[in-house]
Structure 1
């Protein structure tokens, strides 16, 4: 939790999940939960899923955009022997990613970076985040952030149906309407407890798809 001039920014990296590209290829992604009353964020509560490679992209963009004026924290090192079945490796990486974000969010200069806001509060792919931050999309950064809202799934069948429509977060698919994101029911209120409920919802980004 970060407190800056009585403004609070709380961030969690949690709920690691294995996502399959196809029968042979899979990757791990993590839920990023943000809860804040900071004026730097127009959206006070959000949840998205990101994978390690997207964290690497974020660090590179922040370093480039800050013109080396900021010494960025390090990400947990890339492990060539990282296993999706090794619980300790996954836990260590998840803790390292959360520490990275906590340190990033303590820097007022970085809080003004559009890439950071898109990374934390939209489910756009890397290519779409770059285009949006550069002003090359029909939607603005604010619209991309606000366009990702909560949508209730009423049955497992609905969840599977919408998951089948989703595309990988690293892909260039222009029809990515629904992202495979699970968040807690409690996030719809101001008194959040991200770690204390098993009720799931999904994040829908349909209003900012291209």
Structure 2
């Protein structure tokens, strides 16, 4: 059987930080038979800062379907390249980002072995409540560089 990895970017949602600030996040879904992935199907919500997406427009409207669609398509194309790169597929941060609900701070801690759960546990248990693995002390892991 031939190996495949499919990526979908869908369901843009406006997230309001406060009265003046809002951002868009997206659902990223993966379906694969690749041995590089622990979980064969997953969907997570992410706000992304990636290269080669259509540039931000100072007059960007969170309600402009054309601009949102262009950004989603750019993200999908970028992720297609990423999930087909053997070098990038060896990084557990990538798998945690794409297949768990952990924050970037917790992804870093998990990948570095500073959590009470393994990368595999975080990926397989994201939908059933990763909170059961976390303690209050893990909430205090200092913010470090993004993965």
What range is the shorter-chain TM-score in?
A: 0.7 to 0.9
* Distance in 1 separating the partners of 2:73 and 2:134: 31
1:37 paired to 2:14: no
The one of 3, 9, 14 aligned to 1:18: 14
1:207 paired residue number: 132
2:56 match = 79
The structural deviation recorded for 1:84 is 1.0
Cα pair 2:109 2:115 within 8 Å, conserved: yes
* C-alpha distance in 1 between matches for 2:101 and 2:81: 22
What is the match of residue 51 of structure 1? 47
Q: Which structure 2 residues correspond to residues 121-136 of structure 1 after superposition, within 5 A?
A: 121-136=99-114
| Alignment of 1:111 onto 2:36 | no
Q: In 1, distance between residues paired with 2:83 and 2:7?
A: 9
CA–CA distance in 2 between the matches of 1:208 and 1:31? 24
8 A Cα contact 2:27 2:44, kept in partner: yes
Deviation of 1:31 after TM superposition, in Å, equals 0.4
* Alignment root-mean-square deviation, CA: 1.8
The normalised TM-score by structure 1 is 0.59
Unpaired runs of at least 5, structure 2: 136-147
CA-CA distance at 1:80 after TM superposition? 4.3
Instruction: Report how far residue 22 of structure 1 moved.
Output: 3.2
How far the C-alpha of 1:77 sits from its partner, in A, is: 4.5
| Distance 1:80-1:209 versus aligned 2 partners, 3 A rule | farther
Residue segments in structure 1 that go unaligned for 5+ positions in a row: 57-73, 151-203
- Asked if the contact 2:115–2:134 (Cα under 8 Å) also holds between the matched residues in 1, the reply is no
Aligned length: 134
Residues 84 and 8 (structure 1 numbering): CA distance in 2 closer, same or farther, change over 3 Å?
Answer: same
3-state SS, counterpart of residue 52 of structure 1: coil
Per the normalisation by structure 2, the TM-score is: 0.82
Distance 2:54 2:133 in 1: 33
